[in-house]
A = this chain, B = another copy of it.
Amino acid sequence: MAEQAFVTLATNDNYARGAMVLGKSLRNHDTSKKLVALIGPEVSEPCQSVLRRIFDEVLVVDVLDSGDTAHLAMMKRPELGVTLTKLHCWTLTHFSKCVFMDADTMVLSNIDELFDREELSASPDPGWPDCFNSGVFVFRPSEETYAKLLEYCSEHGSFDGGDQGVLNGFFSDWATADISKHLPFIYNLSSVAIYTYLPAFKQFGQNAKVVHFLGKNKPWSYTYDPKSTQISGNVSDAAAHPSFLLDWWKLYSSTVVPALQEQFGDQPFHSGCVESQ
């Protein structure tokens, strides 16, 4: 049986920091699967090195350079650059099955059981719950599916400008066809849900297996003081998911920052950690 993998994506150093935390969180919970990071060519060399220490495979995907139908799709829909990079995960045909996870997600327990599910399994999106959220999904790498996805992309674009719109357009029977393809919401718990229906979060939130820092403010948008373990920045928003955000920063500052320091050496870099006076 061919291998299975968790796959993520980072097109720049900020998302790369997210990918590192995600990778560490998967390792910490003893995943038996391979870890793959797709990265864009703009990810710096030191970040690539850190990613290579955490992930089994780090693949640079350059849509502009690809010379294939992805390039053509890109010419037709230039706004879909990151989306087209994400779709590239379908080309990982040396794996029989994969779970894609956004770089702004973090696992809170072992989730290898997701590999029992079929393509395309995902959790509902809070907001428009007949759409799935494309931050966590089970898929089967396939050149054929990849080609169809690119074709769909070129012809229809994305109703929301991103990969979620494309994937929901393509896998359009998700809401109505097969309940086993509905991953429980605790596999993609987004901060949005915490404040829109707090009693449900209080009832079910302790079972969360994956937290997704969906939306404009990402964990790396804040700064953190490792000594006082305090988060600063636009904290009014952070207050919506304080303990998850703190978990992210604790993991990041304790395991990722030292690795970044080593790789960047004398070069200055933005760790996001500050020492309060």
Interface residues of chain A, those whose CB is within 8 Å of chain B, are 123-131, 159-161, 165, 175-179, 182, 184-186, 192-193, 196-197, 199-204
Whether A126 contacts B199 by the Cβ 8 Å rule is no
| CA A203 to CA B197, docked complex, whole Å | 24
- The answer to whether B192 touches A196, judged by C-beta atoms less than 8 angstroms apart, is yes
Say whether A196 contacts B127, CB under 8 Å.
yes
CB-contact partner of A176 in B182, B201, B203, under 8 A: B182
In whole angstroms, how far apart are the Cα atoms of A176 and B176 in the complex?
Answer: 13
- Contact residue among B126, B176, B178, B186 (Cβ-Cβ distance under 8 Å from A127): B126
- A200 with B131, Cβ < 8 A, contacts A175-B184, A177-B179 known: yes
Copies in the complex: 2
| CB–CB B129/A125 < 8 A | yes
Residue pair B130, A124 in contact (C-beta under 8 Å): yes
A177-B179, A179-B179 known; A130-B204 Cβ under 8 A: yes
Q: What is the distance, in angstroms, from A219's C-beta to the closest C-beta of chain B?
A: 21
List residues of chain B with CB within 8 A of the CB of A124. Answer: 124, 129-130
Q: Enumerate chain B residues within 8 angstroms of A202, measured Cβ to Cβ.
A: 159
Q: How far is the CA of A248 from the CA of B133 in the complex (A)?
A: 32
Residues of B within 8 A of A201 (CB): 128
- Return 24 A-B CB contacts under 8 Å, by A number: A124-B129, A125-B129, A126-B126, A126-B128, A127-B192, A127-B200, A128-B185, A128-B196, A128-B200, A130-B184, A130-B204, A159-B199, A159-B200, A159-B202, A160-B200, A160-B203, A161-B199, A165-B199, A175-B182, A175-B185, A176-B182, A178-B179, A179-B182, A192-B196
